[in-house]
Amino acid sequence: MSDKDVVLVEREGAVATVILNRPEKLNALTKEMWGRVGEVFRELDQDEDLRCIIFRGAGDEAVGPGADISEFATERNNSEQAADYGALMHNSMRAIRDCRHPVIARIRGLCVGGAMELALMCDMRICGEGSKFGVPINRLGLVMAYPEVEALVSLVGPSVALEILYEARVFGAEEAKEKGLVNRVVADEEVDTAVAKTVEKICAGAPLVNRWHKKFVYKVVQGVRPPQLLSQQEEAEGFACFDTEDYQEGVRAFLAKDTPKFKGK
């Protein structure tokens, strides 16, 4: 299997689907897969015609069970190796978070360890009622590094994050929803329909506006720049939409009681 085969990209119109493709191992993440995830999302970020990305695992049994432990003896056997491996992981995680397009995680089955960390970087998570979550790494003597911790804490808060890490339990979809890990839980057989409906709603909106909203939300969450300390250029970006063709089209369609046809311009 080539580098490109372990992470697939499917395209349908303005929507791309990124697939962890190692179903015979429940999509357990290898170093090769981590690297390819980053490459794929950096490539998709440059595609101006995209309006939404779906992230998922091949099949319906798992997004992934976490890392492929069989690699650890050769790839993560000491702190120096682990730091190199971690840099690759974190670059790929950032590639998802920094991708300008909305990213939706489609979750069925296991979403544990590294797979859950990747899902945390997506903008929304929709899962089936049979899905399982957790980060049981303290059973391996492993620590979750700062970038993963930041993503987890930003979603669930410090106390729940520590509960997940201390107890190292694998828990169900309803508990994941209660903890704030996922946006929506549906019947397993309805996951694809629920994802498709969400993607349809996203694609119906002005794509430039969706990109701006994503950028603004993560700037605020990550504390890059508190709203009261925005630069003049950053503050002006909040009004740049008024100069777009999509703004004119949105107003026209609203007044005409018509469906807007946004072009991303």
53 located within any domain = yes
Give the per-residue pLDDT at 228.
58
Q: From 10, 12, 8, select the one nearest 51 (Cα to Cα).
A: 12
Packed helices 245-255 and 207-221: angle between N→C axes, nearest 10 degrees: 110
The count of domains in the chain is 2
**Residues 110, 9 within the same domain:** yes
Of 201, 220, 246, the position where a domain reaches its end is 201
The enclosing H or E element of 183 equals none
Q: Which residues pair with 106 in a beta bridge?
A: 126
* pLDDT at site 263: 82
Whether residue 197 is found in the same domain as residue 249: no
* Residues 109 and 239 occupy one common structural domain: no
Residue 262 covered by a domain: no
CATH number of domain containing 72: 3.90.226.10
Same domain, 31 and 135: yes
The answer on 246 and 139 residing in a single domain is no
Range of the domain at 212: 206-255
Answer yes or no: do 196 and 246 share one domain: no
Q: Which residues pair with 110 in a beta bridge?
A: 62, 132
Output the tens digit of pLDDT for each of the chain's 265 residues. 555 799 999 999 999 999 999 999 999 999 999 999 999 999 999 999 999 999 999 999 999 998 888 888 888 888 888 888 889 999 999 999 999 999 999 999 999 999 999 999 999 999 999 999 999 988 888 888 888 999 999 999 999 999 999 999 999 999 999 999 999 999 999 999 999 999 999 999 999 999 989 988 888 877 655 555 677 777 777 787 788 877 777 777 788 888 888 887 8
Question: What pLDDT, on a 0 to 100 scale, did the predictor assign at position 101?
Answer: 97
The single-letter DSSP state of residue 148 is H
> What pLDDT is recorded for position 68?
86
**Does 78 map to a domain?**
yes
- Same domain for 104 and 13, yes or no, is yes
Same domain, 110 and 214: no
Same domain, 141 and 245: no
Q: Which of 201, 216, 238 is the last residue of a domain?
A: 201
Q: 216 and 100 in one domain?
A: no
Nearest by Cα to 264 from 204, 198, 195: 204
For residue 89, tell me if it sits in a domain.
yes
Looking at the structure, tell me whether residues 90 and 211 fall in a common domain: no
- Do 136 and 235 lie in a common domain? no
- Inside any domain, residue 264: no
What pLDDT does residue 35 have?
Answer: 95
Distances, alpha carbon 157 to alpha carbons 82, 102, 242, in Å: 27, 23, 36
Give a yes or no: residue 261 inside a domain. no
Specify if 265 maps to a domain. no
Q: How much is the pLDDT for 165?
A: 95
16 in a structural domain:
yes
